[in-house]
Each structure stands twice: as structure tokens, then as C-alpha cells.
Chains A and B, each alone.
Chain A
Amino acid sequence: MKRAAKQRLPLLILAGTVALALAAPASSRAAPRDCEVPPELLAISVKLPHLAERLHAKQPVNIVAIGGASTKGAAAGAPDLAYPHRLQVALAAFYPEVPINVVNKGVPRQSTQQMVQRFPTDVIAEDPILVVWEAGISDAVRGVEIDDFAAALQAGLDEMKNRAIDILLVDMQFSRRTSAVIDFEQYLNTIHRIGDVDEVYVFPRFAMMRYWSEQNMFNFDEVAEDERARLAAKVYDCIGKKLAEAIHTAVR
């Protein structure tokens, strides 16, 4: 296997800020296209061999999205609007002849350790070929000890590897406000470092949402209260689309 997903976070952030610095004069004139991110944020060097096999054989694909509140997606108002379902829709567009199903196993306010404990019932029992694991927000919010966080992630990844199930990680959400009171940095570094060490792709949701925020896309401060759910749904849709693009690249 080629050298795979590296700890790319600092680079991503650097790339994001450089891109922003370059794009800043232009962005005031032309609004960026929906969901657009700098290409560096979608660079992916790992493969998802088991998923690729299924897709190429045109066999049904079952994907489990396990995670916290942002996986459940209650902020958007309906399960169909959460990112796992948007991912299913976007993947179906890439592979129209393959039946693809994404199961949403998001449970709000769970630490990574608690998610791992759900693996037997919520992941293994669903018999997935790919697991999308969104982790780290609750750990950062609660300030879970960083080594415990790393150990929990490692345990989950090891279990999937042993069962020959492909897995990818999704890092935290970004919001200017929360990042002022929640210290995400060391959890972000840890999740990307683990992905690096284990050759597991980490979808850089944090860096993407940060880029969007700096482009002034999805500005929650400027919309009326009843519009906010619609805006959240837009963000989830973009996350689903970008995730589908990354997966599409990883199985080529």
C-alpha cells in the first residue's frame, strides 16, 4: 500500500489561509460557488479497497455513519437533511447502478469511548462495508483526557481493521464562536495523527467549514431564526457532497 493519509491538518489550515489570502480580493466581487473548497482540502491518498470491490462488482453497498449530534443532524430539522443521507444521495449520483444505503447512527453528546461501546450493536450488526466515523466534538467540549481520546479512536479503528471493514474518520465542525471557548486544537491534531499512523483517511470537515466561514458562506449571524435550520441543511448537504467526492477518489 502506498504511504497514506498523513497528518495533514496544519498543511490544510495553512493552505486554507493562503487560499483565503489570495482569494480575499476576488471574493468580494464574485461569490464562491456552493460547497467549493480549495483542492488541497480534498486531497486523498488512501484507498478503500473493500468498498471499491463492491462498487466495481456493482453489489449493494451498506455504509454506517456513526457519530454525534452533527451526524444525527437534528439542527437541519429532518433525518433526510443530515449529512449521512446527503452522502447517500451524492454517492448514488456517482454510482447510479449500485444500490447504496447509508445508515445514520448519530447520537448526540457521546464521547468517542461511548461510540466505540456502541460498535457491536450500531455498526457490526448493520454489516457495513464502509464506516464513516465522526468523532471528537464531545471529547473536546468535555475536555476528555487526550490519551483516552486517542486510545478510544485506536480501539475503534483496530476493530474495523480486524473485521475487514473500510473506515474513514470525520473531524470536528468549525464555528468561529465555539472555537473561542472550546479548545479543539489538540483533539484535531490527535485525530489527524491517528489517521496518519493508521493510514486512515480523515475528512477535514473542520478546515472546510473554516474555509467557508472565512468566505462568509453560511453566516448564521445574518439570518433570521427560522432560516437557520435551512442554512444548517445546506452545510450538511455540502459535507455530504464533499464526502462523496473524497470516497469517489478513494475507490478509483
Chain B
Amino acid sequence: MPEPSTPREPRDLRLDFFRGVSLIFIFIDHVPQNFLSYFTLQAVAFYDAAEVFIFISGFTAALVYGRRLASKGALYASAQVLRRAWQLYVAHIFLFVLFVAEVSYTAIAFKNPMYNDEMRVADFLDEPHIAVIKALMLEFQPTFLDILPLYIVMLLIFPAILLGMQRHWLLVLVASATLYVVVQVFDISVPAYPEGHVWYFNPLAWQFLFVAGAVLGNRAAHGASFASLLRWAYPVALAVFAATLVVKTSWTIHGLYESFPAWFLKALWPVNKNNLSPLRLIPFFALVLLVATHVPRDARFLGSMAARPLVLCGQQSLEIFCLGILLSALGHFILSEYTSAIAMQLVVNVAGIAVMCLTAKMIDWYKAMDRMPILQPAAPRSGDGVQR
């Protein structure tokens, strides 16, 4: 069923902006015991920036690669997706090497006998020949190396999602939702290394969020109107959003001031993240609906100077995502090696966010230069005029 190719619309800055915000939040949340994490999504919601990132990534992937599919064919679009997956894979291996360096350094420089017994367990250097291979196979996911494997797997399956959606979007959505439900009902997890470990972000569960984003992106690209859906679901979404906001915020405040009651804590906690508990997923969809209703595509603030760095981060998401993980690992190291006083936490956060934004700006500039046609050297002097 050939779909009519839609004329290219101006970029939806909302996607870039919110993805940029989620990247900053992911960085902040990954610096351990960071007081700024009280100001990120996870403090007031059952979901966190990871959901935002994966959902928007699915949505944009459907837009971008959908266009490629329409104009240049399935093979080319698939090759492009796989090239992105490869870039992420290389980034993952790079992070793994950093992790090995950190552990090796710690194992040698460690002088505290109080941790001898435990450190020996952590010491994967006992069998590096296996650990390295498991890392190459994405099965070894120590500390901060757990998100990239999910993203890589999502991109690997994306060509199939893309081609499936070309047949019919319901086909893909139903298959994906079925898998998600099966994982929830039978509590299935994906084994990792060493023995007994599981994938922190279970790809069998999290794929649903990515696919849901992709299907919505696909529908949006084909001009589907969600107006009636937004209208009837709005009250439900608002209620879910408000209820979960109040409950989770009460938990956070309760963590700070114990006299403040934590509503439904005993009934609801813990909220499973590995398998993307419905308690995370449903309020997240409510959030998506509210944002889609209240933040119009042409919202003024999206074009403002203040939003610009976040939009840029969102546009260069692959690079900034990897950079953010790297920076949070570095921040972790600095805070534990020196001091974790609040002033230092602030410095680490501000410096990290600044580096992310500046890097995004640099990549944006570089890509713009790259796209610029090479000028004919006809009039070399007038071309780079000093006068304005």
C-alpha cells in the first residue's frame, strides 16, 4: 500500500526541546546523590526522563526514517538506521573501556581492607576474557552502561518496525503491545552477565514505549488528527496526571521531612523500572497527552533564546546522550574522589550541562558548515569581507 509522501513540514521543535530536557535530566539523575535530582521528573512522577527520551526517539525515528523510506527506499532507510546503531555501539564500547580503566585503577590503588572481600566479587578482572566478550555482546552492563544497550536494540529492530508500519500501523502496535503484556503477566526478564543479572532496561518491555512513539510519529506524518482522541481522553489524562503527581511528590517530600505523609507508599512501592511497570507507563502517556494539548507546535517559547540550548541538545540527541553518560560517570568520579559538598555538586552539574549545550552548539555549527555548498573561488577577496 503506497502512502503518499507528505510535503516536508517545518521541524517540530517540541520534540527537540523535550528531548533536550530529558537528556539534561538523565545526566543529572546519573550523578549519584545529587541534590539537583530533586528538581527532575523522577521527584514528582513515577516515570523519569528515560521514558521521555525513548518515546521521543521512537517518534522522531518514525518521522525521519519514514521520509527516507518514502523517498529513497527500504534498503537505504534500513542502512541509515543501522549506521546509527553502529555509532551507538562504538560509544558503548568506549564507555566500557573507561569503566575498565576506572575499576582497574581502583583495584590497584585501593588501600582499605574493609572492602577486601566485597571488592573481590566486583573484580571482573578475575575473568577478563569472558567479561570483554560479554561486553561486546551487550550482556555485561555494569553501573552506567545500561541505557545504551536498550537504545542500540531499539535501533536494530527499527527497520522491521518501519516496514511493518508501511503495511499497517496497527500490525506493529498490536504485536508490540502483546509482547509488553506478556512480559508483565509472566514477569519475563532478559538475562545478562554475570550469572543471575538481567538487562536493567528490559528491551522486551521498553520496546513498547519506543514503538508507541514510532506509531504516533508515523500517524502524525500521515496527517492523522488526534483532536477527537485528545478531547475525550483529556479528563482521564488530567486525573491520572494529577493523582500520580500528588502521590509521588508526597513520597519525595516525605523523604526529606519524615513528618510529611507519603500517600499510598506501602501499596504502590516499589514501582518496577526494569520491566516498565504500567504504573510508570500509564501516567507517562497521560503526560504526553497533556503536553500535546497544552504546548502547541508553534509555542512562542520554543523559539526563544532560553530554549535554544535545549533544542540544540535534543537535535543532536545521539551525541549528547552519549556525552551525558560519559559526563555523569566523570562527575561521579570527581564527587567520590574529592568532595561531594553541595558547592561541588553544583559545579559538576553546571559544568556538565554547559559542556552538553556547547557541544550541541558545536555539532550544529559543524553540520551547518558541512551542508553549505562549496563556493566557487571566483572572487576570493569579496567573499570573506571584513566590512559589515
Q: Which residue of B lies closest to A173 (CB)?
A: B114
What CA separation (Å) do A143 and B196 show in the bound complex? 9
Flag the segment in A1-9, A29-37, A53-61, A122-130 that touches B.
A1-9
Q: Is B382's beta carbon under 8 Å from chain A? A: no
Q: Once the chains bind, are A228 and B113 in contact (CB under 8 Å)?
A: yes
Chain A contact patch, size range: 35 or more
A145 CB contacts on chain B under 8 angstroms: 189, 197-198, 274
Q: Which residue of B lies closest to A193 (CB)?
A: B269
Q: Once the chains bind, are A13 and B33 in contact (CB under 8 Å)?
A: yes
Q: Is A45's beta carbon under 8 Å from chain B? A: yes
B254 CB contacts on chain A under 8 angstroms: 6-7, 196
Shortest CB–CB separation between residue A75 and chain B, in angstroms?
Answer: 4
Listed residue (B110, B114, B270) with the most chain A CB atoms within 10 angstroms of its CB: B114
Per DSSP, chain A at the interface is: helix
Assuming the A-B contacts A180-B106, A214-B339, A214-B340, are A8 and B255 also in contact, with contact meaning beta carbons closer than 8 angstroms in the complex? yes
Q: Please, what's the 1-or-0 string for B104-146, where 1 marks a CB less than 8 Å from any CB in chain A?
A: 0010011111111111111000000000000000000011100
Q: Once the chains bind, are A183 and B270 in contact (CB under 8 Å)?
A: no
Q: Once the chains bind, are B112 and A108 in contact (CB under 8 Å)?
A: no
B118 CB contacts on chain A under 8 angstroms: 68-69, 108-109, 137-138, 141, 178, 182
What CA separation (Å) do A225 and B112 show in the bound complex? 9
Q: Once the chains bind, are B122 and A185 in contact (CB under 8 Å)?
A: no
Shortest CB–CB separation between residue A79 and chain B, in angstroms?
Answer: 15
Give A38-80 interface residues, CB cut-off 8 Å to B: 45, 68-70, 74-75
Partner of B336, one of A137, A179, A228: A179
Q: Is B369's beta carbon under 8 Å from chain A? A: no
Q: Once the chains bind, are B32 and A185 in contact (CB under 8 Å)?
A: yes
Q: Is A197's beta carbon under 8 Å from chain B? A: yes
Partner of B113, one of A75, A141, A142, A147: A75
Q: Is A176's beta carbon under 8 Å from chain B? A: yes
What CA separation (Å) do A100 and B115 show in the bound complex? 29
Q: Once the chains bind, are B143 and A228 in contact (CB under 8 Å)?
A: no
A175 CB contacts on chain B under 8 angstroms: 112, 114-115
Shortest CB–CB separation between residue A131 and chain B, in angstroms?
Answer: 22
Q: Once the chains bind, are A182 and B35 in contact (CB under 8 Å)?
A: no
Q: Once the chains bind, are B116 and A75 in contact (CB under 8 Å)?
A: yes
Q: Please, what's the 1-or-0 string for B269-282, where 1 marks a CB less than 8 Å from any CB in chain A?
A: 11011100000000
Q: Which residue of A lies closest to B110 (CB)?
A: A177
B115 CB contacts on chain A under 8 angstroms: 173, 175, 177-178
Q: Which residue of B lies closest to A7 (CB)?
A: B255
Give A191-241 interface residues, CB cut-off 8 Å to B: 193, 196-197, 210, 214, 220-221, 223, 225, 228-229, 232, 235
Q: Once the chains bind, are B33 and A185 in contact (CB under 8 Å)?
A: yes
Q: Is B347's beta carbon under 8 Å from chain A? A: no
Q: Once the chains bind, are B33 and A147 in contact (CB under 8 Å)?
A: no
Partner of B112, one of A142, A177, A182, A193: A177
Partner of A17, one of B258, B265, B341: B341
Q: Is B343's beta carbon under 8 Å from chain A? A: yes
What CA separation (Å) do A152 and B35 show in the bound complex? 29
What CA separation (Å) do A11 and B260 show in the bound complex? 13
Assuming the A-B contacts A142-B121, A145-B198, A228-B113, are A179 and B259 also in contact, with contact meaning beta carbons closer than 8 angstroms in the complex? no
Q: Once the chains bind, are A228 and B106 in contact (CB under 8 Å)?
A: no
Give B293-343 interface residues, CB cut-off 8 Å to A: 332-333, 336-337, 339-343
Q: Once the chains bind, are B122 and A9 in contact (CB under 8 Å)?
A: no
Where the two chains meet, the residues of A that have a C-beta atom closer than 8 Å to any C-beta of B are 3, 5-11, 13-14, 17-18, 20-21, 24, 45, 68-70, 74-75, 108-109, 137-138, 141-147, 150, 173, 175-185, 190, 193, 196-197, 210, 214, 220-221, 223, 225, 228-229, 232, 235
17 further contact pairs, Cβ within 8 A, besides A8-B255, A10-B35, A45-B258: A8-B258, A14-B256, A21-B343, A138-B121, A142-B121, A143-B142, A145-B197, A145-B274, A176-B337, A180-B333, A181-B102, A220-B111, A223-B111, A232-B112, A232-B113, A232-B114, A235-B114
